[in-house]
Amino acid sequence: MRYDLRNDDFNDPQDDFFFGFPRNMFDMTRHGGSMRADVVEHDKDFEVSAELPGFKKDGINLQYNNDTLTIQAEHENDREDKDDDGRVLRHERSYSNVNRSFYLPNVDRDNIEAHYDGGVLTIKLPKTDANEERNHNIEIN
């Protein structure tokens, strides 16, 4: 008896065209729901670019707390195909939830800007003076 070892992504019995290659290649949910992101530090700011294709702007949540930027996005898709008589031929549902966090210290949290266009989220986080937020003098009465 012969046993074949295959990667789980290519061993789905519902996939029959090239062992599921087309569907699995772009399926973010099977690979831990990761998002591709770039972080670039400039003299006056940080710039974060995150790829979120297929997500809607209202499904993306950004937070900056404790020197950490968190990007969280949810996407739900419900698709139904019917024939001419109204019978359901196929009903597909998918759900994606991705999130990433980045430690970016000394950010002016009041002036953070974010733009979402063409599936790419771009966030500009202006820097503040490092001593401004960390050193807080307490007056003794």
pLDDT tens per residue across span 110-139? 899 999 999 999 999 999 876 555 555 556
Three-point CA angle 32, 54, 86, nearest 5°? 105
CA distances from 60 to 11, 37, 49, 111 (A): 32, 14, 14, 19
Select the more confidently predicted residue: 130 or 86: 86
Q: What pLDDT is stored for residue 102 in this prediction?
A: 95
**Quick one: how far is CA 118 from the chain centroid?**
14
Looking at the domain assignment, is residue 139 inside a domain?
no
Please count the residues of the chain: 141
Mean pLDDT over each residue of the chain, to the nearest integer: 76
Q: What pLDDT is stored for residue 80 in this prediction?
A: 80
Question: How many CB atoms sit inside 10 A of residue 71's CB?
Answer: 21
State pTM to two decimals. Answer: 0.63
- CATH number (domain holding residue 124): 2.60.40.790
Number of structural domains in the chain: 1
Q: What pLDDT is stored for residue 34 in this prediction?
A: 77
Looking at the domain assignment, is residue 1 inside a domain?
no
Looking at the domain assignment, is residue 137 inside a domain?
no
Express the helix, strand and coil content of the chain in percent, nearest 5 each.
Answer: 20, 45, 35
Looking at the domain assignment, is residue 3 inside a domain?
no
- Residue 112 is part of which domain span? 35-131
Average pLDDT over residues 83-102: 84
